[in-house]
Every structure is written in structure tokens, then in C-alpha cells.
Amino acid sequence: MTSALRITVVIPCRNDAEFLRECLRALQKQERPADRVIVVDNGSTDDTAAVAREAGVELIDEPLVGIWPAAARGYDAALPTSEIIARVDADSRPHPDWLARIEAAFEADQTLGVLTGGAEFYGAGRVVRYLGEHWYIGGGRFWVNLWLGIPLVFGSNFAMRSAIWERAREVVDRDNARIHDDLDLTIHLRESDGVRWDRTLTMPVSARPLTSVRGLARRVGRVVPTFAASWPEGAPWRRRETDYPQEGPGGDDAGVAVT
């Protein structure tokens, strides 16, 4: 039986051709194939475009360098034909059942608006992997959930209904290359959007950000500017005042983890 849900996978990429090649291979092995795969070439000077063409996926350009401009460009391109927009990064290696599980989750729960999971870091030692999964990602999820009341959307591993992006695209700071796109998206979501974290929906991703003090500091250093960019709208008291009505995705189960 063919699903009524059309899923588009968006991959922003800048000078990560070899990582992208492996990511696309992983997507080709999905038990439930993507209906569309869009690679957003964010001003690459390597073979990113050639790798995308070789794999037979859609390739679009976003000249404004930055993860938010590239990701947003891809989400926009996915809107006309997709019920679900899924997101990975070039260094993601989705498990074969990743899209099948996403599809099943959205089909089973009409109140589900955004589904996200955690990371399995590769390319580093056991200690770095543990700290990345439990402190970097896990810690971020804990504090964001405490502050905002919903789980942190992890940019390398999530999917959202197109209706969510149709609204969010008008309020996020999508042209700002100096902030975390996934945190900014989370800040502009509400409990009524049905944001859910599934602890079993994990994504293998490169440990590159964790293997140097400079790389880690750059990512952690973007947290405050991301919150500042949406202030005061992102404050918890303002979020409660502007929670969106229970129309479409969202409901009593919003913002809870799947067990």
C-alpha cells in the first residue's frame, strides 16, 4: 500500500562533498525511499554539485552562505509537493529504517507536527562520543526543554509537516548565518505544534564539532546570539501569550518524548 504522505529530504551542504556522497548512499538504502531529495549547495568550491548530480538528486543553489539560509531555501523548495519535510546534514548517515519510522510516526498521530531524535557520533573516541551524545546534544535538549517547554529540534535529525514550515518561515531569522538554525526554529515553535523527541530515533553524525576546542566553542557561542535574535518573542512568558490555536498539528501529547 502506497503512503499518502510525500516525504522530501533536505540536505544543506557547503564543501562537504565526500560526506555528502556517503549520506546520499545511506538515503538510497532506505526501506522507505524519499519521494524527493534536495541538496542545497551553499556556495561550495569542491565537488558538492557533482556528487549530487551523480546521485540523481535535485540540486539547488543558495549563494548566501550560512546554514539557516541554505536550510530555509531547501524547505521552501520542498513545500509544493511534500506533506513531510525531513532534514539531515551532509555528514549524517541515516539508518535504513529512518524514513520508514518517520512515516509511521506521522501517520499514526495527526497531532504530531515535528519529530526529532538524538545523535550517534562517529569519527572520535568513546569519551568524545559519550560527551557529545549526553552532554552536548542531551544537555542542550534538557535546558531548551526546561526553558521553552518543548524539545530541542536537532537539525541533523528531524522531520516536520509542511504546514509547520509554512508558518515558521515567516517568523524565523532565516537569513541570519550567525545563529543556530535548529534552535531558532525551536524557539519559534509552540506546544500546540506537536513537537516530539523520540529517544530511539538516533542519527549517526560526524563528531567533527567536538574534536577541537575552537569548533565546539564556535557552536556553543552561537546559543546566546540565537536567543537574542528572537528576544523578547522567545521568552517563556511571551510564548505562552502567543501559543498557536489547536488547529492542525499539536495537541495533548505535544512536547513529550516517545517511550
**Minimum mean pLDDT among 5-9, 10-14, 58-62, 253-257: which range?**
253-257
The pLDDT of residue 237 is above 70: no
Residue 251 has pLDDT above 50, yes or no: no
pLDDT category of residue 229 using cuts at 50, 70 and 90:
confident
Tell me the per-residue pLDDT of 184-211, one tens digit each, with 9 for 90 and over. 999 999 999 999 999 999 999 998 766 6
Q: Report in angstroms the alpha-carbon separations of 118 from 44, 81, 154, 177, 196.
A: 27, 27, 7, 23, 12
- Average pLDDT (126-148) is 76
Out of 46-55, 156-165, 216-225, 245-254, which region has the weakest mean confidence (pLDDT)?
Answer: 245-254
Q: What angle do the packed helices 48-55 and 17-28 form, to 10 degrees? A: 20
Question: pLDDT by residue (tens digit) across 46-92?
Answer: 999 999 999 999 999 999 999 999 999 999 999 999 999 999 999 99
> Which residue ranges make up each domain of the chain?
7-258
pLDDT at 197: 95
3-state secondary structure of 53: helix
Q: Which CATH class is domain 7-258?
A: alpha beta
Q: Where are the alpha helices (DSSP H) in 44-180?
A: 48-55, 67-78, 98-108, 126-131, 138-148, 162-168
Q: What is the mean pLDDT of the chain?
A: 87
